Chain A
Amino acid sequence: MQSGNLRTLLGGRKAIFYAVLVHLTLVALVAIGFRWQAKPAVVPAKVVQAQAVNDAETQKEIERRKKQERERQAADAKRLQEQTKIIEQKRKDEDKRKAAEADKKRKDDEARQAEVKKKKETEERRKSAESSLKEQLVHEEKERTEAKVKAEQAARAQSELARLEGLIRQKVERNWVRPAGWTKGMECVVRVRLAPTGEVINATVARSSGSAAFDRSVENAVYKASPLPMSEDKGLFEHFRELELRFRPEGQA
């Protein structure tokens, strides 16, 4: 902004300088009588002749010449004015141009700055995004690890569940005396309620096989197998608190 002012000042001084110069030139011109027109100069009649000649003509001539001079001067002055105008105009234009240029520059600068700012902002956003992504990744990683741990725990719990199932099955099978004459296709379902120790609180026939002896053998198997193998884990026990045992004999009858 400051430089702009400076230019205006300088431009102003320049103008004065030029004006002065022009006037001096004009003065010089006037003094010297520089003919700048291409018109054939009116060759002044020899004054000698003139003198003797007619004063009226001469007077006329002189008037004419004075008028010319005046016109010329006026023209010059006009010209000077015009030139000054032009110069001023030029100067103005130049000023304008410069101002515009300055403006433009300013605007460019502003734009550039804005752009820079924008870039910076973008960068910052990116950076912050990146950092938040990083954060997120870290967070996700953490979650994944946690989930993995959970899954492992779940898998361990699942395998523990399966293991318990297997142990229960084996113990019940060891204690099941299958009555003679059982056939494939017979089925008896017993619903069992367990205490956390695995002890059988209650066992009732939910679906009879149709043979009282078979049903009884099944109930007895459950009671004889009590306490059933059980985990101390309360969560795991919940799974076994109420249990269904489906007796479906296989193997050689």
Chain B
Amino acid sequence: MKTVLQPMKCILAVLFAGYAALASAILTIEITQGVDGGLPISIVPFGGAGKEPPPQDVAAVIEADLARSGRFTPLDKKDFVSRPTDDKQVVFKDWRIVKAEALVIGSVKPAAGGRYQVEFRLYDVYKEKQLAGYSYVVAADRLRAVAHQISDIIYEKLTGEPGVFSTRIAYVTREQTGKRFNYKLQIADSDGYQPVTVLSSVEPLMSPAWSPDGTRLAYVSFEQRRPVLYMQNVVTGTRRRIAEFNGINSAPAWSPDGTQLALTLSRDGNPEIYLMRLSDNALTRLTSHPAIDTEPSWSPDGKEIAFTSDRGGKPQIYRMRADGSNVERLTFEGEYNARASYSADGKMLTLVSGAQGRYHAALLHLQSSTLQMLTDTPLDESPSFAPNGRMILYATEHGGRGVLASVSADGRVRQLLKLQEGDVREPAWSPFNRTTPTN
């Protein structure tokens, strides 16, 4: 038969040429599966160190940011064939070998006056094209801030969405000395670093809520031995009491236009949701039901308010119009659903969902009414959306104490934030920065 091979090939060639000519359509292959993971990215340690390394490892901050977001998978440095710190040193073939889709290189060089010059470049490896490149001159204490800015630029270039790495988080810590406790309201970077205390108290603090312009925090303080609502300017430190009626004053929620606060007051005998106009403190009652109604959250368009109510027996999530009308129940799964808050696009609520004594951070997709668990740890609380809706910050237990963690909105990537002193709880993610940080 071997002698037939040659003619066979000819026949085949003819056949296929004929077929191809006949078909005149290009072969189409359908691709439906892939790997659901972060975009593979190589972040090369920044170069340019002088005599001493700079006080912050900018590349490491960037790498941690991108990994935490769940959208990127930084590749292992051990596999790097080369370590360029300069545009001229980049050999794209080296990065195709490790199958990186993007490459980040940079340098941090000492500059005049104790400052640093930070440069970075972002490349598309397979297109062999630079996507971004910037240069900054900053003081040493701004190195982390610059790193977060670079993370934002990389994130936005490659995902098309805004990054949240330059945003901040607020939270409460509790430390114990002997029999006394000390509570602090703190603000830190989105990764938990560089905390700043805005309030310190020997009585509990609860429910910090950012104003839409990111300048103020409303919160509950027990400094008067009962729950009272305060508002504080985080830049100037000035604060005032907002509500100190009989009973409970709590659960502050800013309207998207910043002119009103929804809050929980039990002045009329049982906890109900009210609106307070900040200009004149005028109060409007929204709910009137003997059950507990609390934990209001505004929809991004300001038209609706989600809240927790146990009018059905156990705490569940309800929604009403901003004037209190048209109350409808949203959650029907699980035994306990509470503390809902809207995503920036208004399509999801993050909440605490509990069953059989286990409480998880969860997502409720409003269109499909599907409830998705984000965590499997049993004592999770206070989930708070990042302003781009892609990550959720929440409080959990770890190593015997309260810590903060973030989870990507698809539930894939979970990361503990930098541990603070004491017991950490009540995280609140700030909105996008309205003001650009100055050098």
Contacts and interface: CB of A to CB of B under 8 A. Distances in A.
A and B directly contacting (CB within 8 A): yes
A213 interface: yes
Interface string A69-101: 000000000000000000000000000000000
A242 B26 CA distance: 7
B408 A169 contact: no
Interface string A229-244: 0000111101110111
A177 B28 contact: no
Contact of A180 (B27, B33, B71, B125): B71
A112 interface: no
A243 B29 CA distance: 8
A149 B4 contact: yes
A244 B28 CA distance: 5
A86 to B, nearest CB: 91
Contacts of A213: 158-160
Interface string B9-20: 101110111001
Interface in A217-253: 217, 219-221, 223-224, 233-236, 238-240, 242-253
Given A177-B38, A213-B160, A150 B11 contact: yes
B22 interface: no
Contact of B36 (A178, A239, A244): A178
Contacts of A249: 32-34
Given A165-B27, A243-B27, A180 B70 contact: yes
A217 B39 contact: yes
A154 B15 CA distance: 8
B20 A238 contact: yes
A175 B125 CA distance: 14
A168 B27 CA distance: 12
Q: Is the interface of A mostly helix, strand, loop or mixed?
A: helix
B70 A239 contact: no
Contacts of A59: none
Give the bracket for the number of chain A residues in contact with chain B: 35 or more
Contacts of B409: 180
B199 to A, nearest CB: 36
Interface residues of B, number: 43
Given A153-B8, A213-B160, A220-B126, A247 B16 contact: no
A240 B32 contact: no
Interface string B101-137: 1000000000000000000000011110000000000
Contacts of B159: 179-180, 213
Nearest to A248: B32
A244 B29 CA distance: 6
B17 A157 contact: no
B30 A239 contact: no
B99 interface: yes
A199 to B, nearest CB: 12
A100 B121 CA distance: 125
Given A216-B124, A242-B26, A172 B11 contact: no
Nearest to B28: A244
A103 interface: no
Nearest to B30: A246
B408 A180 contact: yes
Given A157-B15, A217-B39, 10 more contacts: A150-B15, A157-B16, A169-B31, A173-B32, A180-B38, A180-B412, A239-B27, A244-B29, A248-B31, A250-B33
Rank and list the top 3 A-B pairs by shortest CB-CB distance, nearest first: A176-B34, A223-B126, A235-B16
30 contacts: A149-B4, A150-B15, A153-B8, A157-B15, A157-B16, A173-B32, A175-B99, A177-B38, A179-B39, A179-B71, A213-B158, A217-B39, A219-B126, A219-B127, A220-B126, A224-B101, A233-B12, A235-B9, A235-B13, A235-B15, A235-B17, A243-B29, A244-B26, A244-B27, A245-B29, A246-B28, A246-B29, A248-B32, A249-B34, A252-B36
